[in-house]
Structure 1
Amino acid sequence: MTSNPIVALSGVMKSYGAFTALHATDLTIGEGEFVTLLGPSGCGKTTTLRLIGGFEHASSGRVEIAGKDVTESPPYRRPVNTVFQDYALFPHMSVAENIGYGLSVKSNNVPAGERKRRVGEALEMVGLGGMANRRPGELSGGQRQRVAMARAIVRRPRVLLLDEPLSALDVKLREGMQVELKRLHRELGITFLMVTHDQTEALGLSDRIVVMNQGRIAQIGTPAQLYDNPATPYVADFIGATNLFEATVEDREGEFTIFRLANGHLIRSRRPLPDAALSAGRRVTVGIRPERFQTVAFDGANRLDCAVLERLFHGDRLRVELAADGIGKPLFAELSRVAVPGSGVIASGERLALHVDPIDVLAFADGDRR
């Protein structure tokens, strides 16, 4: 249970006729956390955000914010504000007017002097202090994103909802705005709940990540927990990238479990598996992250002989597509050029022996697919 919960979903479900967008879901978000809902299109992450924001009503279950049942409350009755994917700025208003609009509507009606002061503070916080009188059409994409952030925080919500807030920006701007989001979260001290399909964004920004799949939560954890100890092949493949192989349990040797791959190769893992999954002959899925492969043998074990199919040059690293002997599908390796024999350049058709430490061999019991 999260300490000091600010958002709590209890059995929340959303359906549209016969289609269930979100199955019965329990989720608790702590005050001051930066939590990200992560998953592919159609996984239920945006539906969850909209249910918390009040833009959708739950088919069943209960939504609480700050200890209050808001399941039936409209958005303006909830202590949340939202930064939308398209920013939704008014083009005929100035930057200051856009930011202050939410303070001028009847439900808030903040006095003019206080409104001006808070708009000025919000502009300074997002680094737009000199742009109060500009129109949205005069701003860059990154500046419009900052205006949308300022408009959301000026109302001082308990929870800030971020609906893919960086998706419209180019790569350089996205990287810069990620830093800004971290800074704003730290300075504001409020809860951020973000939706994204970008795993790099989620890993870099979040205190915890909620990985979703087909309307259900697949796993919740810190970025390190999800990356180092994914619960299923789906999570392993979505958080980062993972080569997945069908295998069977061959034997146990002390702390090691030995698996036999489809090509007959034996590979050892020093990762725990449930006792029920350790019986000889049991089907499992073995996973190896591309960056865990090495080109230098450490003890002669866990070797895959491969032919290079293609390679992409990434400066100090190479991303290599390979065909492993006896394995039907290609695998990928991220190799440091310093560790590559010879000149640090690999050519298509070249033979390469890859090795992996047993601690880096993931293993999932058959049935852990979701």
Structure 2
Amino acid sequence: MADVNLTGVSKTFGEDIALENLTMTVPDGSFVVLLGPTGAGKTTTLRMVSGLDKPDSGSVSIGGQDMSGMTPAQRDVAMVFQQYSLYPHLSVRENLEFPLKSPVLRTPKPEIDRKVGEVAEVLQISHKLDNKATELSGGEMQRVSIGRALVRNPSVYLMDEPLSSLDAKLRSDLRVELKSIQANSGATLLYVTHDQIEAMTMATHVGVLDNGRLVQFGSPREIYENPVSVYAASRLGQPRINVLPAEIFGGAPASAKTIGLRPEHIVQGEGEDSMVKRVEHLGDQTRLHLSFKDQELITVTDAHTQLKHGDIVKIRPENPYYFDAAGARVA
């Protein structure tokens, strides 16, 4: 496996800035998730690394080697797309074998059989190897798509929202499988998503992108507990961080424009009165939608709470974040 370094990478499409001076290191053996909304530059970053697109400026290196002028095939990367991209006329086995039979790899037949068998077992599709791709469910198709990348053992795996089209249970199952595969193999994996749960549960590092700029890079816990801005804070956490006027509770720093409160930053049972607007029972927890001084906020409480619409709950902040008018964190 290998590390990936992007240095000052910029890319525009017409008048649209896709990436702006992006500098980032994907450490060898890490699971890096690029997080951000549509248009943040996530997929463009993958395309820079894979060689499908060329940067207007800056450089990309893999394993210490500059990738300038190198084709996707020469870069030894494997990419998994959001859509399955399988060959429908081929069986599952033939789809998995296909990349190993390329003239570049020239893998011997016994080695192909071994790798296909191992990957099929890990992804729990061994019993489907002789089925046509068109006979599979959506989840099985995506497992084959992921497996086609895994059989190659490339320097870097690139995955572009591979789980977004699956149902909730399959997404959950494949999150566990992908993280396990990456951890056990020591693979370097760069993964794109807008799903914060995928970022929190799978990533060793998260890169938060905003309009083509990298605004924060670190572990999921670091970004959750120490965000550099309102934008970064809003990328992780469920329910989302509450952003309110800075002086709503008093005692804010002079330069603060807003206060950020995660659910655990809201202490219940003491402080000032708020009114329950809505109660969401989610099984393992209950979300409270509160109205406080004409502001709406969400927190969590005991799963078996008896609170209901119209009840009064005292609240106060604890260890809040403060942000200035530009959204940057105030110390």
Q: Does 2:299 align with 1:333?
A: yes
**Residue aligning to 2:202:** 205
1:346 is displaced (CA, Å) by 2.1
Quick one: distance in 2 between partners of 1:47 and 1:366? 30
Q: Does 2:32 align with 1:35?
A: yes
Quick one: distance in 1 between partners of 2:186 and 2:2? 14
Quick one: distance in 1 between partners of 2:3 and 2:130? 36
**Residue aligning to 1:351:** 312
**Residue aligning to 1:282:** 255
The structure showing larger relative contact order (alpha-carbon pairs under 8 Å, at least 6 residues apart) is: 2
**Residue aligning to 2:129:** 132
Unaligned runs of 5+ residues in structure 1 are: 248-259, 269-277, 298-302, 339-343
Contact 1:293–1:335 (CA<8 Å) still a contact in 2?
A: no
**Cα 1:122/1:282, change in 2 over 3 Å:** closer
Determine which of 58, 75, 79 is the counterpart of 2:76: 79
1:176 is displaced (CA, Å) by 0.9
**Residue aligning to 2:265:** 292
SS at match of 2:128: coil
Q: Does 2:323 align with 1:367?
A: no
Aligned pair count reads: 327
Quick one: distance in 2 between partners of 1:85 and 1:115? 25
SS at match of 1:81: strand
1:184 is displaced (CA, Å) by 0.6
SS at match of 1:210: strand
Q: Which amino acid aligns with 2:300?
A: E
Contact 2:282–2:303 (CA<8 Å) still a contact in 1?
A: no
1:105 is displaced (CA, Å) by 2.3
SS at match of 1:165: coil
Q: Does 2:134 align with 1:161?
A: no
Contact 1:58–1:71 (CA<8 Å) still a contact in 2?
A: no
1:267 is displaced (CA, Å) by 4.6
SS at match of 1:134: coil
Q: TM-score, with normalisation over the residues of structure 1?
A: 0.84
Larger radius of gyration: 1
| Higher deviation after alignment, 287-296 or 74-83 | 287-296
Q: Does 2:65 align with 1:65?
A: no
SS at match of 2:295: coil
**Residue aligning to 1:245:** 244
Tell me the alpha carbon deviations over residues 151-192 of structure 1, each in whole angstroms, 9 at most, x when there is no partner: 101111011111101111111111111110111102221101
**Residue aligning to 2:106:** 109
**Cα 1:336/1:356, change in 2 over 3 Å:** farther
**Residue aligning to 2:275:** 307
Q: Which amino acid aligns with 2:263?
A: P
1:369 is displaced (CA, Å) by 4.5
RMSD between aligned alpha carbons? 1.9
Determine which of 140, 143, 149 is the counterpart of 1:143: 140
Q: What is the percentage of aligned positions where both structures have the same residue?
A: 37
Unaligned runs of 5+ residues in structure 2 are: none
Quick one: distance in 2 between partners of 1:136 and 1:15? 37
Q: Which amino acid aligns with 2:245?
A: E
**Residue aligning to 1:179:** 176
Tell me the alpha carbon deviations over residues 107-164 of structure 1, each in whole angstroms, 9 at most, x when there is no partner: 3232333322322222223222232111122222222222112110111101111110
Q: Which amino acid aligns with 2:173?
A: G
